[in-house]
Amino acid sequence: MDPKRFVANHIVDLPKSGIRDFFEIVAKMTNVISLGIGEPDFDTPWHIREAAIYALEKGKTHYTSNLGLIELRRAISSYVEKTFSIGYRPEDEIIVTVGVSEALDIAFRALINPGDKVLYHQPCYVSYHPSVTLTHGIGVPVPTFAKDNFALTAESLRAAWQPGCKLLVLNLPCNPTGGTCSRAQLEDIARFCVEKDLLVLSDEIYSELTFDGVHVSIASLPGMKERTIFLHGFSKAFAMTGWRIGYACGPAVLVDAMMKVHQYSMMCASIVSQEAAIEALVRGEDGMKKMRDQYHRRRDFIVRRFNEIGLACHLPRGSFYAFPCVTSTGKNERDFAVGLLEAERVAVVPGTAFGANGSGFVRACFATSYEQLILASDRIERYVQGLASAKPPESRG
């Protein structure tokens, strides 16, 4: 008997993540410098860990309210008000989730009817398209380009829009490009959303890691709070990936709809992680800023090095990813990444893991130590020089 026939059709057809594939190869190798997986190299600051230990000592080992601890929702409300200038009621406009991953999942499941179309800018985070497919929606990618520093423009959005589009997923600053939008660009996007009656799912997980200018949330623009679900979490800014904790804020009816899905699936986020999250929000700002300063220094270094090496790289305004173009080497993104790994033991992710128009680019995560980045950039330089000298003379230029 072949158990495979029990698997649902839409799962059979769902491709596995391009990142995972690649990192199965990496896992079998030694002495690799990984600029691959998008996760802080810092451990969670000690005072946050201590808050969790203390919570356990006090016997906090139980379920919480489905929406999350009210103390945490109050802390989220104050933090979001202070940081993003958006006010959400702790009682019914905030839900605590198992990472932004779960917030995305329950939002899609609560909002998408079969056949609804969902716009998202591309290259984008690997989970958006599959999550839409899992809920029987139809993903509609909107390309962003290196010439615009990978900012989403209202013109591209208009060109991609089709009848039946219901949602727009925004991820600013963006994984994998580090692109973001100016206030003026966001205002144009907001006007377009009102014109086409789109609801926005705004994944702002990298917002604290904005290096140039000020991060603006689309939910803070006039008329947008009621048509935006604001998604945020602790994984990146507070170096808390393993705690699996995040949240969604939005109009009470939409939070209530998401709560139904959450209630019957996760029930609640881990109480220990919720206690740690309170500490992160209330006393974590200094630690977060110190980490951001490190990422900023590393960004300036690695982007300068990529450009020196001849891999054209725009300046990512936020996140901890650089997204250089590798076409000058004569290789496509996958061959470049595999070749670099084999020749020099440096792991980067082929840009097509983030959608078809990531073609010609690779993603390099700079959430690794400065010393490792120096070493990695020297290895990349040697690899690129080796490729150039291996080219037949007529194709050198």
Contacts with ligand PMP, residue ranges (CB under 6 A):
38, 99-101, 125, 171, 175, 203, 205, 233, 235, 241, 246
Tell the smallest beta-carbon distance from residue 359 to ligand PMP (Å). 20
- How many residues make up the chain in this entry? 397
**Which residue lies nearer to ligand PMP by CB, 87 or 242?**
242
Residue by residue, DSSP assigns 222-235 as TTTGGGEEEEEEST
CB of 100 to ligand PMP, least distance (A): 4
Cβ proximity to ligand PMP, 247 vs 306, nearer residue: 247
Closest CA to 42 of 373, 215, 313, 295: 295
Closest approach of ligand PMP to the CB of residue 293, in Å: 21
E runs forming strands in 15-158: 33-34, 94-97, 117-122, 138-143
232 and 101 in contact (C-beta within 8 Å)? no
Residue nearest to ligand PMP (CB): 99
Residue placing its CB nearer to ligand PMP in the complex, 38 or 284: 38
- 251-to-27, 91, 267 alpha-carbon distances in Å: 43, 12, 20
Give yes or no for a cis peptide into 123 (omega within 30° of 0).
yes
Strand, helix or coil for residue 280? helix
Nearest approach in angstroms of CB 175 to ligand PMP is 4
Q: How far apart are CA 99 and CA 242, in angstroms?
A: 9
Q: Could you tell me which of 237, 37, 247, 228 has the C-alpha nearest to residue 126?
A: 37
Give 128 or 336: the residue with its C-beta nearer to ligand PMP: 128
Label the pairing between strands 199-203 and 228-233.
parallel
Q: Which is nearer to ligand PMP, 170 or 309 (CB)?
A: 170
CA distance 62 to 361: 46
- Work out how close the CB of 206 gets to ligand PMP at its nearest, in angstroms, rounded to a whole number: 7
Residue 232 or 305 having the CB closest to ligand PMP? 232
Residue 18 or 246 having the CB closest to ligand PMP: 246
Q: Which two tokens stand for residue 202?
A: 């705004």
- Nearest C-alpha neighbor of 179 from the set 54, 351, 370: 351
Give the number of other CB atoms < 10 A from CB of residue 41: 17
Residue 125: CB minimum distance to ligand PMP, A? 4
304 neighbors 313 (Cβ within 8 angstroms)? no
The least distance separating ligand PMP from the CB of residue 388, rounded to whole angstroms, comes to 33
| Residue whose CB is less far from ligand PMP, 141 or 246 | 246
- Rounded to the nearest 5°, which phi and psi values hold at 81? -65, -45
Nearest approach, Cβ of residue 330 and ligand PMP (Å): 30
